[in-house]
Chains A and B, each alone.
Chain A
Amino acid sequence: MAVTDAKTLPPETVSPRAADAEIESSVSVASQWQLMWWKFRKHRAAMVGGVVTLIIYVIAIFVEFLSPSSPGVIRADYTWAPPQQLHFFRQTENGMRWDPYVNGYKVEIDPEALRRTFVIDEEQIVDVGFFVRGETYEMWGLWESDLHLIGSTDAELPVYFLGADRMGRDLLSSMIYGTRVSMSIGLLGVFLSFFLGILLGGISGFYGGTVDNLIQRAIEFIRSIPTIPLWMGLAAALPTDWPPLRIYFGITIIISFIGWTGLARVVRGRFLSLRTEDFVMAARLDGASELTTIWRHMVPSFFSHIIASLTLSIPGMILAETSLSFLELGLRRPVVSWGVLLQEAQNIRSVATASWLLIPGLAVLVAVLALNFLGDGLRDAADPYNR
């Protein structure tokens, strides 16, 4: 910016450091990713968010092995069974011994509601084991197995670490299976939006002029419509007789159809700003070839911003799916997502009887928080020179 007059002092007349500066400029390029990493590492919440996100995705990958049971298994005689607390040690004559167990249930009749309810029976003991054999499943649809990380050692006595729903289905297993669906919809939706966003944002930034104008108007339009009613309208149009997988993709497409606008803006803005950014100019003046310029300066900054925006878009997708499924306009059993599970909690009566039905909400909360923290940290780190 500074207008430099010929008389202005060039301070470097006295500068043996000139050579250093040259070296510095090449070093600083190589270490841009590293700078970002340093910056990111300082962001404590983002680090925690990153680790939690990683754990959630690992859970999503090993769903079959991690869950004690399958989400579809109905046990009508365990309606709304409350959570059983896992004990690791058992009291014996010679002190505490490693022997995981839970207490069993006994049935009581609720005198007011005239309904059978389960209560924990301290007398009863159900043995729990790690790496137990249980229901068979197909791991990733590839091979059969019946190994579960944790579960009841007795096939006749199911365990409900987080309780059961109206049909006696295990909430923990459902939630673990739901992790895969909810998290993958987020990821898939973001990639779809990203594709749309890159395409339209790129076109917008590349052609400029009328095309840019039209696309920008369209984006503004989509953003000015309240999303949930629109999603509801579109989701309701999905035929009810579609197979679950197709519904899954349909919902993902509907969600990303509205979600792409934010990313398109980021992409366009990045494209535009990249062209004018000072450091690119500096590199140009330096005589570096165009390609090296792009590779060294534009790519890291572009990608880091995009990755940050992608991360920050996932929570919106997850929340959208959760809301739609909760309203019974989204996914349906046998597909389970956290939103599908929350359907069970739709009326106050079931929530009052079985408050654990709200636990899948906690999963949503943790996932969204973790992704937000992670994305925030990434965004800060994407500007390593800022502040």
Chain B
Amino acid sequence: MDTPVLIEIKNLKTHFFLDEGTVQAVNGVDFTIHQHKTLCVVGESGCGKSVTARSILQIVDQPGRIVEGEILYHRPDRLSGVGLSEELPSPNGAGGSSSTEIIDLAALDPRGRQIREIRGQDISMIFQEPMTSLSPIHTVGNQITEAIKLHTDMLDDEADEHAIELLRRVGIPRPAERLETYPFELSGGMRQRVMIAMALSCNPALLIADEPTTAVDVTTQAQILELLEELQDDFGMAIMLITHDLGVVAEMADDVVVMYLGQVAERGDVESIFHDPKHPYTQALLKSIPKLGVSRTMQRLDSIRGMVPDPYNRPTGCMFGPRCDHFMPGRCDAINPPAIQLGDGREVHCLLYEDE
């Protein structure tokens, strides 16, 4: 059963205004995040996953700006008004709290007070590189308690206590001692756990995880994902998980959004996406999984194209047209496929399904 809506993104457009021209990094994206659920966003490098995520928090890098669209945040009651529960939540996780307040995050001033109150408190984020995402010269404790002190009126030692509790929760041994260590003294996996502890410090309604396991080894990756699932049960937050890895999607997701060149190709629940992919791009993605040994040269090609993307020269009509097996001349290069509802909350952007 669907839980209440938490985030509703409508026709989001985030562009980068560079000297060379405008990069339409996110160009008309719609999707919904539900309370307590995990939404996975997949797509090739450069398709706009990170920019979408950052748009939610209004932390898009400088020449970038949200130019159109809405990001409606249905603020759960427990977060409305000031004070925060000072206890960690009891492990119930189930059920959804109703919400009354609806805030359009896209309309807020990126430097303003309102969005700053939401950041780190309602919605928090963890990043790909746990090394560089933490300050090298501030202690772990300092960085974890920062958000707590910012958003609650806990005193210093209360915040420390809370931080120790969080570190314990994310599975860091001897948490009290860790407070005084520096990030460079920790392993990659431990750092990512610190990041998670930091993100959960104010018990957010949504945790955005932007490729949280790309920079760690495979074993650690599994542990971290497992931890995220556990924590979701404990804390009851929704997770928006950005990943390249379809295996991770299969394991973690409730809902899936497949992105291509700044737009949504297809979205739906994980079962139907995996068993009955509609969009030719999704189909190709899924077909590629069994091909194991290929990768070497292929990945190199990927990295070359990644280095020299061509965001200025977008195809007309369907973005996927030039690479699509079902390309229909005269139609696919003329019309930008609109969202086509397939029932059960599924949606595909492909002209093949226009009549259905």
Return B178 CB to nearest CB of chain A, in Å: 25
CB-CB under 8 A for A15 and B299, given A2-B214, A5-B245, A7-B245:
no
In the complex, are the beta carbons of A10 and B305 less than 8 A apart? Answer: no
In the complex, are the beta carbons of B216 and A24 less than 8 A apart? Answer: no
Which residues of chain B are within 8 angstroms of A15 by Cβ–Cβ distance?
A: 301, 323
* CB of A111 within 8 Å of the partner chain: no
Interface string of B210-248 (1 = CB under 8 A from A): 000011111001000000000000000000000011111
In the complex, are the beta carbons of B214 and A18 less than 8 A apart? Answer: no
Return A296 CB to nearest CB of chain B, in Å: 15
In the complex, are the beta carbons of A10 and B304 less than 8 A apart? Answer: no
Which residues of chain B are within 8 angstroms of A349 by Cβ–Cβ distance?
A: none
Return B120 CB to nearest CB of chain A, in Å: 27
Which residues of chain B are within 8 angstroms of A385 by Cβ–Cβ distance?
A: 307
Interface string of A363-386 (1 = CB under 8 A from B): 000000000000000000000010
CB-CB under 8 A for A12 and B245, given A7-B289, A24-B308:
no
In the complex, are the beta carbons of B287 and A13 less than 8 A apart? Answer: yes
Return A8 CB to nearest CB of chain B, in Å: 5
In the complex, are the beta carbons of A12 and B247 less than 8 A apart? Answer: no
A171 to B281, CA, bound (A): 76
In the complex, are the beta carbons of B218 and A3 less than 8 A apart? Answer: yes
A305 to B246, CA, bound (A): 43
Contact of A10 among B214, B281, B299, B308 (CB under 8 A): B299
Stretch of B82-90, B193-201, B290-298, B337-345 at the chain-chain interface = B290-298
Contact of B300 among A11, A24, A285 (CB under 8 A): A285
Interface string of A39-59 (1 = CB under 8 A from B): 000000000000000000000
In the complex, are the beta carbons of B300 and A286 less than 8 A apart? Answer: yes
* CB of B172 within 8 Å of the partner chain: no
In the complex, are the beta carbons of A282 and B303 less than 8 A apart? Answer: yes
Return A385 CB to nearest CB of chain B, in Å: 8
In the complex, are the beta carbons of A10 and B295 less than 8 A apart? Answer: yes
Which residues of chain B are within 8 angstroms of A282 by Cβ–Cβ distance?
A: 300, 303-304
Return A278 CB to nearest CB of chain B, in Å: 9
Interface string of B273-290 (1 = CB under 8 A from A): 000000001001101110
* CB of B152 within 8 Å of the partner chain: no
Return A63 CB to nearest CB of chain B, in Å: 43
In the complex, are the beta carbons of A17 and B294 less than 8 A apart? Answer: no
In the complex, are the beta carbons of A5 and B284 less than 8 A apart? Answer: no
Interchain Cβ contacts within 8 Å, total number: 82
* CB of A109 within 8 Å of the partner chain: no
In the complex, are the beta carbons of B295 and A4 less than 8 A apart? Answer: yes
In the complex, are the beta carbons of A9 and B305 less than 8 A apart? Answer: no
A342 to B153, CA, bound (A): 67
CB-CB under 8 A for A21 and B301, given A9-B246, A14-B281:
yes
In the complex, are the beta carbons of B247 and A13 less than 8 A apart? Answer: no
Number of interface residues of A (CB under 8 A): 26
Which residues of chain B are within 8 angstroms of A21 by Cβ–Cβ distance?
A: 301, 304-305
Which residues of chain B are within 8 angstroms of A155 by Cβ–Cβ distance?
A: none
* CB of B115 within 8 Å of the partner chain: no
Which residues of chain A are within 8 angstroms of B288 by Cβ–Cβ distance?
A: 9-10, 13-14
A17 to B284, CA, bound (A): 15
Which residues of chain A are within 8 angstroms of B307 by Cβ–Cβ distance?
A: 385
* CB of B322 within 8 Å of the partner chain: yes
* CB of B302 within 8 Å of the partner chain: yes
* CB of A243 within 8 Å of the partner chain: no
Nearest residue (CB) in A for B217 is A3
CB-CB under 8 A for A10 and B45, given A282-B300, A285-B300:
no
A384 to B307, CA, bound (A): 13
* CB of A224 within 8 Å of the partner chain: no
CB-CB under 8 A for A11 and B287, given A1-B215, A3-B214, A3-B216:
no
Contact of A17 among B218, B221, B245, B305 (CB under 8 A): B305
In the complex, are the beta carbons of A5 and B323 less than 8 A apart? Answer: no
In the complex, are the beta carbons of A10 and B245 less than 8 A apart? Answer: no
In the complex, are the beta carbons of A9 and B44 less than 8 A apart? Answer: yes
In the complex, are the beta carbons of A9 and B285 less than 8 A apart? Answer: yes
Return A189 CB to nearest CB of chain B, in Å: 38
* CB of A16 within 8 Å of the partner chain: yes
In the complex, are the beta carbons of A7 and B247 less than 8 A apart? Answer: yes
Return A38 CB to nearest CB of chain B, in Å: 12
Which residues of chain B are within 8 angstroms of A2 by Cβ–Cβ distance?
A: 214-215
Which residues of chain B are within 8 angstroms of A24 by Cβ–Cβ distance?
A: 304, 308
* CB of B105 within 8 Å of the partner chain: no
In the complex, are the beta carbons of B291 and A10 less than 8 A apart? Answer: yes
A14 to B320, CA, bound (A): 10
Which residues of chain A are within 8 angstroms of B287 by Cβ–Cβ distance?
A: 13
A8 to B295, CA, bound (A): 9
* CB of B167 within 8 Å of the partner chain: no
Interface string of B246-290 (1 = CB under 8 A from A): 111000000000000000000000000000000001001101110
* CB of B42 within 8 Å of the partner chain: yes
Which residues of chain A are within 8 angstroms of B303 by Cβ–Cβ distance?
A: 282
In the complex, are the beta carbons of A14 and B244 less than 8 A apart? Answer: no
Return A41 CB to nearest CB of chain B, in Å: 14
Nearest residue (CB) in A for B218 is A5
Which residues of chain A are within 8 angstroms of B215 by Cβ–Cβ distance?
A: 1-3
In the complex, are the beta carbons of A9 and B42 less than 8 A apart? Answer: yes
In the complex, are the beta carbons of B246 and A7 less than 8 A apart? Answer: yes
* CB of A25 within 8 Å of the partner chain: yes
Chain A interface residues toward B at CB < 8 A: 1-18, 21, 24-25, 28, 282, 285-286, 385
Q: List 22 A-B contacts (CB under 8 A).
A: A3-B215, A4-B295, A5-B221, A5-B245, A6-B295, A7-B247, A9-B285, A10-B291, A12-B301, A13-B284, A13-B288, A14-B284, A14-B323, A15-B323, A17-B305, A17-B322, A17-B323, A21-B304, A282-B300, A285-B296, A286-B300, A385-B307
Query: Besides the contacts A14-B281, A14-B325, what 5 more A-B pairs have beta carbons closer than 8 Å?
Result: A3-B217, A5-B247, A9-B42, A10-B288, A285-B296
